[in-house]
Amino acid sequence: MTARDPVADLRRIAFLLERALESTYKIKAFRGAGSALLGHSPEEIAELAAAGQLKTVKGVGDTTAKAIAESLAGEPPAYLVKLEAEAQKPLAVGGEALRAALRGDCHTHSDWSDGGSPPAEMAFTARELGHDYLVLTDHSPNLTVANGLSPERLRRQLEVVARINERLAPFRVLTGIEVNINEDGTLDQEEDLLAELDVVVASVHSKLRMGSAQMTERMLAAIENPHTDILGHCTGRMVRGRDGRNKEGRPESTFDADAVFKACVANGVAVEINSRPERLDPPRRLLRQAVEAGCLFSIDSDAHAPGQLDWQPYGCSRAEECGVDPATVVNTWDADDLVTWSLDHSYRPA
Ligand SMILES: [Zn+2]
Ligand SMILES: [Zn+2]
């Protein structure tokens, strides 16, 4: 007789830790314990808890055993109560209406590349956040540091996505990729695969310091590629270290922003407003310039863990501040409209 589900409590704890950019080590403990419990019947778990033996389950440690026991006793775990209190404070001020208008997220990673959770967990969480769809955009082959997907692995992922969709309908996982823009402006994935995917985010990840003229040409070639739907984190800057804390950031790449945004308009390509707290890319002056140019936008989390899917308020706040019209944000559109637009970028919802 228990009023609470310990797996749900462990997932919620992990979500809130991810949202707060806490250490991967801590998060893994809670996600791991949650998965471990799923391998046992609720009766078994209750018996182990009654005998004080929860730690005999592989993947359950001191802290997680305590949380599970509290949950089984019908109490919210103390660890969760503390996190919920901290999470009361909104992540960002402003942009609330825009966040409410978002129907999905067009840039997310799973553990198939450098994310922390399987595609299904990302999808479940996106649905819990109120989204209608999630685009799964794992990295492309040449980004070996991020375990980029070979054509074979991406084809296999498409089959996995199809199965998740059978389970989660009407919620939709749209197929996608965050494809590297190679130094010569070509895209780092097979042509026929890019054509098959619902949404292609194209981003620069290497040689970020090349000269402005060369970088501009590189970006223009990618934007003019008919498969590119969204230009990811256009300057590549880091306002702080990747761990989100005190480490050094990284300066913006230099390019002719006027030419780049004009090309986005001409090709119907959306400029990403990347919500990761260490990126916040493009910076405000460039975001305003893109608004002036008449660009489309996509406000994305670039989540590498389920809790990071809740970071879109950072992007929404900046978008509102810089005068972005919600109608020009492609992920305020429904999934059908988004996919129709992505075909040749000429379509706009009525
Ligand atoms: Zn990226
Ligand atoms: Zn990414």
CA 134 to ligand 2 centroid distance, Å: 14
- What pTM was computed for the model? 0.94
Residue 253 has what pLDDT? 97
Ligand nearest to the Cα of 108, by number = 2
Residue 246 has what pLDDT? 54
Residue 176 has what pLDDT? 98
CB 103 within 8 A of CB 37: no
**Which residues of the chain fall below pLDDT 70?**
1-2, 241-247
DSSP for 18-40, written as a single string: HHTT--HHHHHHHHHHHHHHHTS
**Residue ranges near ligand 2 (ion) with Cβ within 5 Å:** 178, 302
User: Could you give the CA distance from residue 282 to residue 110 in angstroms, rounded to a whole number?
Assistant: 24
CA 233 to ligand 2 centroid distance, Å: 8
User: Could you give the CA distance from residue 175 to residue 87 in angstroms, rounded to a whole number?
Assistant: 31
User: Could you give the CA distance from residue 234 to residue 255 in angstroms, rounded to a whole number?
Assistant: 10
Ligand nearest to the Cα of 113, by number = 2
Per-residue buried b or exposed e for 299-331, using 16+ beta carbons within 10 Å of the residue's own CB: bbbbbbbbbbbbbbbbbbbbbbebebebebbbb
**Residue ranges near ligand 1 (ion) with Cβ within 5 Å:** 203
Residue 272 has what pLDDT? 98
Residue 18 has what pLDDT? 96
CA 100 to ligand 1 centroid distance, Å: 25
CA 333 to ligand 1 centroid distance, Å: 23
User: Could you give the CA distance from residue 292 to residue 36 in angstroms, rounded to a whole number?
Assistant: 52
Residue 350 has what pLDDT? 87
CB 56 within 8 A of CB 50: no
Residue with tokens 């250490």: 23
Tokens coding 116: 């922390």
User: What's the pLDDT tens digit per position in 150-198?
Assistant: 999 999 999 999 999 999 999 999 999 999 999 999 999 999 999 999 9
CA 143 to ligand 1 centroid distance, Å: 10
